């Protein structure tokens, strides 16, 4: 059912009219931090990415839902975002893989959305004011109030709400490498990439201690993607700091930021973040430009750090996209090399991780 006369209100008072889609709000308002994603496809992977916990996703591409939804493309058991904003939610999917439409998927997942929005105007506004809290629903007074009191993601622990409650393992017992992966909001495609690279992976809760990880005797340690402020993930920086030098470490996105903080780097909050599938990144070692998938509001500043070597740079804003720790076998990448969704230019990084584990074995 489509409900007309709905409104999206930002914390600064900016308003947009539309109609509700997805799960019924039952007279309430959906609220979260508004960000925009510029990807042309991959909406299901984006909606089910746990990194969007606490946020409302605005899709800049005008038609969303045209190829439907299949369970095979979900990056987690259920979406963790607070809602979606689209120009046109396509009601009739056209794709042989589709098992349901996006509207029905949102209903089943308990996620509401607002459609009919001038997403061009909204995106231009977010580019000016930055990621900002907001709310949507039918009761304008209630929506306006929720928008005013909704907090940003700064300083909030969003990792605990998306991390696994108990360890689990993927991959073959006969795999060449055994990796322990910290789940800060890990995506299924990342696990598939690690398994394809020859790893058996035990995924552990974000609060798992360094001693518990080392007691498993892994060949390497993986730090996953996840939502929000890297400083707000409880104990994560201290844990990774104590793991440095004990095993090879590979961090992606939030894991990259946590690794950076563990060596003394500082974080930077980007104005509106990097969310999309077409961000150019230069590999500083090869000079090659890679098109990458990104989803983050924070970045690492390593200018003052003496034991990290810059390996990748964002060509849009010059930001840090990758570094290698020079005093330990560890490296981090800000973008999503697993391509879920996105291009495959950076997929080689999983092989770099296995090569690092092989080299470390040779030393010992």
pLDDT in tens, 82-98: 999 999 999 899 999 99
Q: Are 138 and 243 contained in the same domain? A: no
Average pLDDT over residues 180-194: 97
DSSP string, 111-175: -EEEES--HHHHHHHHHHH-SEEEEEES-HHHHHHHHHH---STT---STTTS-SS-EEES-TT-
The answer to whether residues 12 and 129 touch, using CB atoms and an 8 Å cutoff, is yes
Two tokens, residue 233: 């993930």
Please give the pLDDT value at position 304.
Answer: 76
Beta strands in 38-77 (DSSP E): 55-59, 63-64
Average pLDDT over residues 299-312: 88
Q: Are 175 and 306 contained in the same domain? A: yes
- Alpha helices (runs of H) in the chain, residue ranges in sequence order: 43-47, 102-109, 119-129, 140-149, 188-196, 210-215, 236-243, 254-262, 348-363
Q: Which residue has the higher pLDDT, 340 or 57?
A: 57
- For residue 121, how many other CB atoms are within 10 A of its CB? 11
Residue 93 within any structural domain of the chain: yes
Please give the pLDDT value at position 361.
Answer: 83
First to last CA, the chain: 63
Q: If pLDDT is split at 50, 70 and 90, which confidence band does 364 have?
A: low
**199 is annotated as an active-site residue:** no
Q: Are 327 and 222 contained in the same domain? A: yes
Question: CA 6, CA 124: separation in Å to the nearest integer?
Answer: 21
Tokens 């730090």: give the residue. Answer: 223
Please give the pLDDT value at position 2.
Answer: 47
pLDDT at 66 over 90: yes
pTM confidence score: 0.96
Residue 61 within any structural domain of the chain: yes
pLDDT at 67 over 90: yes
pLDDT at 338 over 50: yes
pLDDT in tens, 112-122: 999 999 999 99
Which of 149, 180, 213 is a domain's end point?
A: 149
pLDDT at 101 over 70: yes
pLDDT at 56 over 80: yes
Please pick, among 103, 274, 275, 336, the residue that the annotation labels catalytic: 336
Please pick, among 253, 274, 279, 296, the residue that the annotation labels catalytic: 253
Please give the pLDDT value at position 1.
Answer: 40
Residue 162 within any structural domain of the chain: no
Q: Are 119 and 176 contained in the same domain? A: no
Average pLDDT over residues 192-214: 98
Average pLDDT over residues 291-305: 91
pLDDT in tens, 344-354: 999 999 999 99
**103 is annotated as an active-site residue:** no
Q: Are 59 and 132 contained in the same domain? A: yes
Please pick, among 45, 202, 321, 338, the residue that the annotation labels catalytic: 338
Domain around 229: 168-363
| Cα–chain center distance at 280 | 18
Please give the pLDDT value at position 215.
Answer: 98
Q: Are 87 and 217 contained in the same domain? A: no
Q: Any idea what the CATH number is for the domain that residue 274 is in? A: 3.40.50.880
**What percent of the chain is predicted at pLDDT more than 70?**
98
Q: Are 265 and 345 contained in the same domain? A: yes
Q: Are 145 and 184 contained in the same domain? A: no
**338 is annotated as an active-site residue:** yes
**What percent of the chain is predicted at pLDDT more than 90?**
94
């Amino acid at each position: 059912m489509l409900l007309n006369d709905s409104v999206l209100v930002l914390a600064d008072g900016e308003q947009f009219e539309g109609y509700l889609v997805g799960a019924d709000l039952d007279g309430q308002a959906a609220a979260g931090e508004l960000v925009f994603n510029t990807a042309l496809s991959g909406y299901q992977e984006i909606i089910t990415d746990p990194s969007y916990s606490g946020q409302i996703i605005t899709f800049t591409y005008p038609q969303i839902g045209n190829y439907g939804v299949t369970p095979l493309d979900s990056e987690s058991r259920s979406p963790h975002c607070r809602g979606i904003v689209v120009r046109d939610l396509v009601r009739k999917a056209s794709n042989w893989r589709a098992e349901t439409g996006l509207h029905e998927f949102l209903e089943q997942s308990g996620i509401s959305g607002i459609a009919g929005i001038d997403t061009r105007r909204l995106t231009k506004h977010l580019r000016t004011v930055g990621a900002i809290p907001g709310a949507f629903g039918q009761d304008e007074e209630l929506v306006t109030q929720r928008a005013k009191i909704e907090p940003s993601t700064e300083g909030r622990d969003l990792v605990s709400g998306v991390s696994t409650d108990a360890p689990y393992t993927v991959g073959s017992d006969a795999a060449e490498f055994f990796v322990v992966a910290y789940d800060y909001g890990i995506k299924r495609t990342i696990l598939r990439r690690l398994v394809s690279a020859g790893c058996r992976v035990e995924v552990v809760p974000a609060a798992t201690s360094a001693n518990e990880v080392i007691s498993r005797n892994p060949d390497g340690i993986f730090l996953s993607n996840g939502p929000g402020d890297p400083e707000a993930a409880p104990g994560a920086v201290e844990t990774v700091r104590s793991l440095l030098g004990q095993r090879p470490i590979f961090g992606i996105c939030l894991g990259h930021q946590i690794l950076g903080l563990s060596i003394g780097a500082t974080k930077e909050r980007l104005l509106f973040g990097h969310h999309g599938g077409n961000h150019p990144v230069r590999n500083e070692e090869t000079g090659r430009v890679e098109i990458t998938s990104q989803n983050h509001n924070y970045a690492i500043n390593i200018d003052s750090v003496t034991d990290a070597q810059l390996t990748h740079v964002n060509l849009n804003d010059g930001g840090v996209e990758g570094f290698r720790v020079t005093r330990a076998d560890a490296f981090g990448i800000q973008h999503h090399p697993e391509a879920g969704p996105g291009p495959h230019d950076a997929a080689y990084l999983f092989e770099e991780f296995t090569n690092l584990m092989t080299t470390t074995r040779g030393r010992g």
